[in-house]
């Protein structure tokens, strides 16, 4: 048997579950509950981390948005461009401007 993966095979989105599953005479393919518990704990930890990162993003945006009492016009052009780019790409994708709006904003 070769260690080289078959490129034609689909990559599973549940590789750990697939690796640990076994066939049961009464239930088909199953996994031990200990694996399910471990995956759920890891998912909860990851979701908690995402929530904390989102809170940090909100704080960072509050700091950026309120520089000079929110008067971005007082900042250098490169600072304004970086702040706008961060807002549009990182903070909230819904704030993305169309190319036409972005060109008008630069005028």
pLDDT digits (tens, 9 = 90+) for 83-101: 888 878 776 665 555 544 5
**57 assigned to some structural domain:** no
Residue span of the structural domain in which 40 resides: 16-51
**9 assigned to some structural domain:** no
Maximum separation of any 2 CA atoms in the chain, in Å: 72
Do 107 and 78 lie in a common domain? yes
Give 47's contacts (C-beta < 8 A, 6+ positions apart). Answer: none
**90 assigned to some structural domain:** yes
**98 assigned to some structural domain:** yes
Domain total for the chain?
Answer: 2
How far is residue 91's CA from residue 56's CA, in Å, rounded to a whole number?
Answer: 10
Write out 17-48 in H/E/C secondary structure: HHHHCEEECCCEEECCHHHHHHHHHHHHHHHH
pLDDT digits (tens, 9 = 90+) for 60-77: 888 887 887 777 778 888
Provide the pLDDT for residue 86: 80
* pTM, to two decimals: 0.57
């Amino acid at each position: 048997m070769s260690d080289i993966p078959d490129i034609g095979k689909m990559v599973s989105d549940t590789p750990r579950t697939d690796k640990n599953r076994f066939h049961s005479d009464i239930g088909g393919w199953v996994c031990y509950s200990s694996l399910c518990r471990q995956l759920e704990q890891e998912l909860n930890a990851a979701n908690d981390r995402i929530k904390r990162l989102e809170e940090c993003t909100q704080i960072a945006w509050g700091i950026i948005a309120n520089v000079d009492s929110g008067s971005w016009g007082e900042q250098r052009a490169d600072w304004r461009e970086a702040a706008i780019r961060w807002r549009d790409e990182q903070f909230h994708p819904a704030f993305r401007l169309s190319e036409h709006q972005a060109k008008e904003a630069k005028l």
